[in-house]
Amino acid sequence: MLYCRPCISVYCSLVITYFPLTLLVCRVMEQGGFGSPAFFLLLAISLASVLFLATLSKARSGRRRLPPGPLSLPVIGHLHLLRPPVHQTLYRLATRHGPIFTLRLGSALCVIASSPDLARELFKTHDTAISNRPQTAAARHFAYDAAGFAFAPYGPYWRFVKRLCMSELLGPRTVDLLRPVRRVELLDLLRAVLDKSARREPVDMSSEIIKMTNNEVTRMAASTTSSGAGGETEEARELVKQVAELVGAFNIADYIGFCKNLDLQGLGKRVREVHRRFDALMERIIRGKEEKRRRRKEMGCGGEDEVKDLLDILLDVAEDDGAEMKLSRENIKGFILDIFTAGSDSSAATIEWGLAELINHPKALEKVREEIDRVVGKDRLVEETDLPNLPYLQAVMKETMRLHPAAPIAHRQTTKDIRVGGYDIPADTVLMVNLWAIGRDPSYWEDPLKFRPERFMSDAAAVDVRGQHFQILPFGSGRRGCPGMVLAMQVVSVTVAAMVQSFEWEVVGGEAVGEGRVDMEEKEGMVAARQHPLLLVPVARLDPFPALA
């Protein structure tokens, strides 16, 4: 059980005070027993000491008012209260202990915030003081000890990479130039589903969607196009899956201090093995890219209009002697891993939730179809450039992300003492902002548990998901908000639109929870994905089907 610093000081004072007093008691008992004057003097000193230390403890604790919380157990604190999915457990605890409360997870002091008002106060007033992310042992290892971007401490390097992200790596120009890559992968997905449709066979949309988003991210990041069983894309997909599982796994060594150097669950061994394989894959990709760049330079190819992937941009910065910050090999590998893990699973989960919600709400599905047919027609497939003209589709995606934020908890760590919601939060406290709970706050949302895209067509039409409206924060907010939100919105929206435009969907197998409905149970993990595969029979609705070339 973790104690605050004032309590530790008091306990140390007790030990220092009563150890010599214990020795003195023994000497008094030897010389005069309970009736001696020395005994009564010792009793008076002891009572005075107890009163003094109690007063000192009260005075010190009075200066720091932590948020309330449930009773904790020795050593493990509140770990026994957590059940997967964790964000739902924290939501239930907030209903009992208030929108801000304290948990002690082993030796880690954690404060959980679950309301839009608290999120606004944290991300606007204290953004600098909560600009770090807590690191688990697995995250630290995969990030090459904070050489990447996602877990790098706030400082000159992190600010440099953030600017690089917003201006070059994930900026509007790069997102636009890499649109053909995303288009190819979307057409491949439609082709695979159309093939199943022709044979009236069910398709595992969960598997097909994650394959598409992995391929998109891998190709945009490193132009990796090999697709065989032993190809780099397939290997990257498998490694990213394992990285996500290991980073999201509960590791007792992250919470119980004396277990820090003990690999009781065997996770450390798995982390080292997956990291070794990923590092070898990245070395092959980087060496291949460097050789390709060298040949192009010798041939005099390339120019300002050349389409570069993210790895090209990072290598350009690494080779620039005048760059503000020199990027190392580990910086590049860590950043690419961040892109791989953050960009594929979260987008796939959002696409799947959106399609599942529409299947469960046929009227909303029909409205999306009518809008696409009116704006795009049936002679061509919807494209990213059509999205601004599809307001109801955008409302559907906002409502999907309100109910199902891909990363349901924003993790931060305080770098100094702050005061939030009338409570004191010490430095080095882990902050968990429950974005899942915020999207369900009845103070901001009417019928918060219902899927109603229409809410974003009227009163909440101006509310967006980019971190400025604190009642819906699927991408987080502040300095550590997701830098890839523009790209993510393009990918998820156009994919859902293409699925709705191109096919009717029939629910099959154990997925059904009622006629034409799918279950909406969540899976445990770093990303809030659906628990069961989305098994559907597609029926092509466009005749003739537009060319997929």
- Find the helix or strand (DSSP H, E) in which 109 lies: strand 108-113
- Find the helix or strand (DSSP H, E) in which 104 lies: strand 100-105
**Single-letter amino acid code for the residue at 439:** G
CB atoms within 10 A of CB 487: 24
Please enumerate in sequence order all residues whose Cβ is within 8 A of that of 173, keeping only pairs 6 or more positions apart, or say none.
none
Say if residue 482 carries a ligand binding annotation.
yes
Angle value at C-alpha 18, between 10 and 56, nearest 5 degrees: 25
Q: In what order do the strands lie in the sheet with 108-113?
A: 100-105, 108-113, 430-434, 409-413
**Single-letter amino acid code for the residue at 57:** S
Q: How far is CA 54 from the centre of its chain?
A: 43
Question: What is the C-alpha to C-alpha distance for residues 84 and 65, in angstroms, rounded to an integer?
Answer: 29
Beta bridge partners of 539: 504
CB atoms within 10 A of CB 128: 12
Q: How far is CA 72 from the centre of its chain?
A: 27
Roughly what angle, to the nearest 10 degrees, separates helices 205-222 and 310-319? 30
Could you tell me the end-to-end alpha-carbon distance of the chain, in angstroms, rounded to an integer?
A: 62
Q: Is the dihedral of CA 106, 110, 115, 119 positive or negative?
A: negative
State the pairing for strand pair 503-507/535-540.
Answer: antiparallel
Question: What is the C-alpha to C-alpha distance for residues 182 and 180, in angstroms, rounded to an integer?
Answer: 5
Query: Within 13 A of 148's CA, how many CA atoms are on the CB side?
Result: 21
Residue in 399, 411, 405, 412 with CA at minimum distance from that of residue 485: 405
Q: How far is CA 27 from the centre of its chain?
A: 62
Residue 410: DSSP 8-state: E
Which two three-digit tokens encode residue 389?
């003209």
| Residue set of the binding site | 482
| Residue set of the binding site for heme | 482
